[in-house]
Amino acid sequence: MHPQKRPSHTRRVHGVAANVSEKEPSATMAQRLNKAIAAAGFCSRRKADELIFAGHVTVNDQEERNPARQVQPEDRICVDGRCLERKQPFLYYLLHKPVQVVCTLHDPQGRPTVLSLLPEEARKARVYPVGRLDYFSEGALLLTNDGQWANRLMHPRHHVPKEYEVTVRGQVAASFLEQVRRGMRLSDGTPLLPAEIEARPLRDGDKCLLRIVLHQGINRQIRRMCADGGLTILRLRRVRIGHLALGSLPSGKLRPLTEQEIARFA
């Protein structure tokens, strides 16, 4: 049998589906039997339904006639005695990274990593961070095991906007705000694209809250901008990546993305 063409991006998403009619759990790697057969490239989902109803399919050596049967990645699925090679489901998460957690899967210094915040299914699927937040920064971080999707998000030509809330000590000079809006040049000569920035004094009068939207991914960009502007950062939190807002997601927690959220980054 000839291998099927790779399905479209949203159709190959597993474990995070928001399709209520299929009633698939949104945060698990389980999937419907007919979908698993189709995802393995054996046939279409409709043809899989026919094979299942006709008694041609076994799961773990037991005949299965229910297309909606939930199967796990470790389950053995066979059609007429031929066992399928199943592809690893793609998983997509939004994590609220706390401070003092590194965005790597292993840290030579023994510091906590985002891996410690992930459920077992995500660790088994080898998800990894898309981009970075430094050790003392917090907020929205995407994780996936879909390399093509991750590369699209990180490619410079896409300029996915990222919004930050930054608390600094003291007040912010209007000249610094204008520099940022025009596109400042860092002290080391690195040119920056224009960024959106607003400043709001906080009640105690000795702090200011900055809302900054970046359209590029320079390493530690906000910290370097503020350092050049003579500002001391007290808190740096990323609250939005593209259309994905952190919202009320608690620190240290994560949620799976819906198919619609994933597709909007395609």
Per-residue burial over 124-153, b if 16 or more Cβ lie within 10 Å, else e, is ebebebbbebeeebbbbbbbbbbeebbebb
Catalytic residue among 134, 146, 204, 206: 134
Q: For this structure, is 228 an active site residue?
A: no
Name residue 102's beta-bridge partners: 113
User: Would the CA dihedral through 150, 118, 255, 161 be positive or negative?
Assistant: negative
Catalytic residues: 134
